[in-house]
Amino acid sequence: MNMSLIWAFICLIIFVAVLAHPKLPNWMTFVCIAPIAFLAKVMDANAVYNVLNSSSLHLMVIICMFSGMIAATGLDVVIGDFLDRATSSQTGKRKEMMIFAIVYVFSGLISTVLQNSYVALAFLPVLKSIARKNRISLSKLVLFVIFSTTLGGAITLIGTPTNVYANSALEEAGLALFGMLDFAWVGIPIFILGGIYMVVMNRWCKSYDDFGDEIVAQTLTAEQKNKQKVVGTAFVVFVAALVLKSLKVISIDPNFVGYAMIAIAVLTTIVTPKEAISSLDANMILFCAGINLMIAIMNQSGLGDLFGTAIIHVIGESRNLYLITAVLCIGASVGTQFMNNMACAGMLAPVGISIAETLGANPQAIVLAIAIGAGCSYLTPIASGTNQTMMVFTKLKFQDFARFGWPLLIITWICCVAILPQVFPFF
Is 287 within the bounds of a domain? no
**24 and 164 assigned to the same domain:** no
Residue 51 near residue 296, CB atoms below 8 Å: yes
Same domain, 260 and 130: yes
pLDDT of residue 166: 78
| Average pLDDT for 338-367 | 76
Residues 392, 346, single domain; the answer is yes
Q: What's the one-letter identity of residue 359?
A: L
DSSP H helices in 74-221: 75-86, 92-110, 116-134, 138-153, 161-172, 184-200
What is the tally of structural domains in the chain?
3
Q: Report the chain's mean pLDDT, rounded to a whole number.
A: 81
The whole-number average pLDDT for the span 344-370 is 78
Mean pLDDT (whole number) for 12-19: 82
Residue 227 located in a structural domain: yes
Is residue 214 over pLDDT 60?
A: no
* Distance, CA of 129 to CA of 320 (rounded, Å): 51
Instruction: Give 211's DSSP letter.
Output: S
Is 262 inside a domain boundary? yes
Q: Is 426 helix (H, G, I), strand (E, B) or coil?
A: coil
How far apart are the C-alpha atoms of 37 and 42, rounded to whole Å? 5
Domain-ending residue, one of 282, 309, 332: 282
pLDDT at 25: 81
Clarify whether residues 269 and 305 are in a common domain. Answer: no
Cα–Cα dist 152/411, whole Å: 14
What is residue 175's DSSP assignment?
Answer: P
Could you say which DSSP state residue 22 is in? Answer: T
User: Does the CA dihedral 169-388-272-77 come out positive or negative?
Assistant: positive
In a domain, 289, yes or no: no
Over residues 120-175, the pLDDT tens digits come to 877 887 788 788 878 888 899 999 999 999 999 888 876 777 787 777 777 767 77
Domain assignment of residue 205, yes or no: yes
For residue 348, count other CB atoms closer than 10 A to its CB. 30
Domain of residue 94: give its range: 55-282
pLDDT band at 79 (very low <50, low <70, confident <90, very high): low
Same domain, 165 and 250: yes
3-state secondary structure of 195: helix
Q: Per residue in 50-78, pLDDT tens?
A: 888 877 678 778 877 887 787 778 776 66
Cα separation of 318 and 398, whole Å?
Answer: 36
User: In the 8-state DSSP scheme, what is residue 214?
Assistant: P
41 and 59 in a single domain? The answer is no
Last residue of a domain, which of 216, 248, 282? 282
pLDDT at 83 over 70: no
pLDDT tens track for 168-200: 777 767 777 777 788 889 999 999 999 999 999
The Cα 51–Cα 267 span in angstroms is 30
Query: Which of 72-76, 147-151, 282-286, 335-339 has the lowest average pLDDT?
Result: 72-76
Task: Round to whole Å and give the CA distance between 10 and 16.
Answer: 10
Rounded CA gap, 62 and 128, in Å?
16
**Cβ atoms of 143 and 202 closer than 8 Å:** no
Q: What pLDDT, on a 0 to 100 scale, did the predictor assign at position 304?
A: 62
85 plus 41 within the same structural domain: no
Same domain, 38 and 77: no
CA distance 120 to 116: 6
Report the alpha-carbon distance of residue 351 to residue 58 in Å, rounded: 34
Q: At 81, is the pLDDT very low, low, confident or very high (cuts 50, 70, 90)?
A: low
**203: Cβ–Cβ under 8 A, 6 or more apart, which residues?**
none
Let me know how long the chain is. 427
Do residues 102 and 145 lie in contact, with contact meaning Cβ atoms separated by under 8 Å?
Answer: no
CA distances 267 to 15, 71, 74, 104, Å, are 41, 18, 19, 37
End-to-end CA distance of the chain: 38
Q: Are residues 268 and 338 in the same domain?
A: no
User: Can you tell me the mean pLDDT for 80-84?
Assistant: 64
Class of residue 173 by CB neighbours under 10 A (exposed 0-12, middle 13-18, buried 19+): middle
pTM: 0.70
- Asked whether residue 392 falls in the same domain as residue 355, the answer is yes
DSSP 111-122: TTTS-HHHHHHH
CA 303 to chain centre: 22
**What pLDDT does 182 receive?**
84
Q: Across residues 94-114, what is the average pLDDT?
A: 83
In a domain, 290, yes or no: no
Candidate from 103-117, 139-153, 203-217, 276-290 with smallest mean pLDDT? 203-217
Mean pLDDT is lowest, of 177-186, 278-287, 417-426, for 278-287
pLDDT for 9: 87
